[in-house]
């Protein structure tokens, strides 16, 4: 078994002792490639076909995360490779993080902290921020994360609407006709949808312009959903009030890009990695690995 990213190397010691696992990325010794039958990845890690082709006996790609946008599931299926992911493990924590970003940006918690620590708080004037309850929230995507985000916002008394490509019978919040309308009619846009080949840069310059100079963009989904160049341009020019981001197009992101943008809060893709969640992710991973090596049905297989 290959653990195919240094960021998830911690999985190795947590696997059952009967598993032989190696950690490697890009440069996998030729002597090992024929022996690899399963690969463990973070689901947002892009697996190139040329990389996977070096493993002729590969039968399973097991994503530690709930997301699997770095894996071409159809390509894998055509080659008899199964793909699994974590299911309903960290959506509540991601929603908590999204709400935390929303509150922190709206009430100036991060900028206020900087003000006090820098000694620039003179006390001569009150720091005035926006009231949370004056905001309306548009949620992009109404899967497990989107539903959890919407429920939290509603509990705080915020009007919530949403958009996604398909209606949801179990969602009571109003679904607007398209993403542009959602951005036009709300103060806050929270991106909570899955990423795939069809929606790269769905949050583009036009959507950001619709959100406007009083608007806030919160992204806890995937960085590639947002056109970062368009976002930075509008943040610098004041055409967008602010952004609160946990995910980026390239990770780790270049800190220089955000360093002089006081209207941005950034966190290091940590929304879904809590002490409670991480053991559950590993447990689901092991269930899938056990089933694969024992020839049983995979508990959380992804349909091609």
Same domain for 224 and 241? Answer: yes
Same domain for 177 and 157? Answer: yes
Same domain for 166 and 203? Answer: yes
Q: Please choose, from the candidates 90, 122, 102, 126, the residue with its C-alpha nearest in 3D space to the C-alpha of residue 280.
A: 90
Same domain for 17 and 64? Answer: yes
For tokens 């990213």, name the residue: 5
For tokens 């998830």, name the residue: 8
pLDDT tens, the chain, 304 aa long: 999 988 899 999 999 999 999 888 767 888 889 999 999 999 888 898 988 999 999 999 999 999 999 999 999 999 999 999 999 999 999 999 999 999 999 999 999 999 999 999 988 888 899 999 999 999 999 999 999 999 999 999 999 999 999 999 999 999 999 999 999 999 999 999 999 989 999 999 999 999 999 999 999 999 999 999 999 999 999 999 999 999 999 999 999 999 999 999 999 999 999 999 999 999 999 999 999 999 999 999 999 8
Same domain for 188 and 221? Answer: yes
Q: Please choose, from the candidates 106, 99, 104, 103, the residue with its C-alpha nearest in 3D space to the C-alpha of residue 130.
A: 106
Same domain for 54 and 135? Answer: no
Same domain for 137 and 32? Answer: no
Asked whether residue 11 is domain-assigned, the answer is yes
Same domain for 212 and 105? Answer: yes
Asked whether residue 300 is domain-assigned, the answer is no
Q: Please choose, from the candidates 206, 201, 203, the residue with its C-alpha nearest in 3D space to the C-alpha of residue 224.
A: 201
Asked whether residue 41 is domain-assigned, the answer is yes
Asked whether residue 301 is domain-assigned, the answer is no
Same domain for 252 and 284? Answer: no
Whole-model pTM: value is 0.94
- Count of alpha carbons within 13 Å of 49, Cβ hemisphere only? 8
Count the Cβ atoms, other than its own, within 10 Å of residue 46: 11
Domain containing 160 equals: 91-266
Same domain for 121 and 248? Answer: yes
Same domain for 107 and 221? Answer: yes
Same domain for 49 and 156? Answer: no
Query: How many domains does the structure of the chain reveal?
Result: 2
Asked whether residue 187 is domain-assigned, the answer is yes
- Phi and psi, residue 157, nearest 5°: 85, 15
Would you please indicate which residues are annotated as catalytic (active-site) residues? 222, 251, 269
The CATH code of the domain that includes 58 is 3.40.50.720
Asked whether residue 304 is domain-assigned, the answer is no
Say what the pLDDT of residue 30 is: 85
The token duo for 33 is 């490639």
- What contacts 29, CB < 8 A, 6 or more positions away? none
């Amino acid at each position: 078994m290959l653990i195919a990213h240094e960021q998830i190397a911690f999985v190795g010691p947590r696997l059952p002792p009967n598993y032989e696992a190696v950690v490697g990325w890009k440069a996998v010794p030729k002597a090992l490639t024929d022996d690899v039958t399963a690969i463990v990845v973070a689901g947002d890690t892009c697996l190139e076909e040329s990389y996977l082709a070096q493993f002729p006996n590969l039968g399973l790609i097991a994503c530690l995360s709930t997301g699997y946008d770095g894996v071409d599931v159809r390509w894998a299926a055509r080659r008899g490779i199964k793909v699994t992911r974590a299911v309903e493990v960290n959506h509540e924590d991601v929603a908590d993080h999204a709400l935390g970003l929303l509150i922190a940006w709206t009430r100036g918690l991060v900028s206020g902290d900087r003000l006090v620590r820098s000694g620039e708080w003179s006390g001569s004037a009150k720091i005035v921020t926006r009231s949370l309850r004056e905001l309306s929230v548009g949620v992009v995507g109404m899967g497990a994360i989107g539903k959890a985000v919407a429920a939290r916002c509603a509990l705080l008394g915020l009007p919530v609407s949403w958009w996604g490509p398909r209606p949801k019978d179990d969602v009571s919040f109003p679904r607007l006709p398209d993403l542009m309308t959602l951005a036009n009619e709300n103060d806050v846009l929270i991106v909570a949808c899955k990423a795939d080949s069809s929606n790269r840069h769905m949050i583009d310059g036009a959507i950001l312009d619709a959100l406007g100079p009083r608007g806030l963009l919160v992204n806890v989904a995937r960085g590639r959903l947002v056109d970062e160049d368009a976002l930075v341009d509008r943040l610098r020019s004041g055409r967008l009030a602010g952004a609160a981001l946990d995910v980026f197009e390239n990770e780790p992101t270049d800190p220089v890009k955000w360093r002089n943008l006081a209207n941005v809060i950034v966190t290091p893709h940590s929304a879904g990695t809590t002490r409670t969640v991480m053991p559950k992710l590993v447990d689901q991973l092991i269930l899938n690995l056990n089933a694969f090596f024992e020839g049983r049905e995979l508990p959380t297989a992804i349909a091609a």
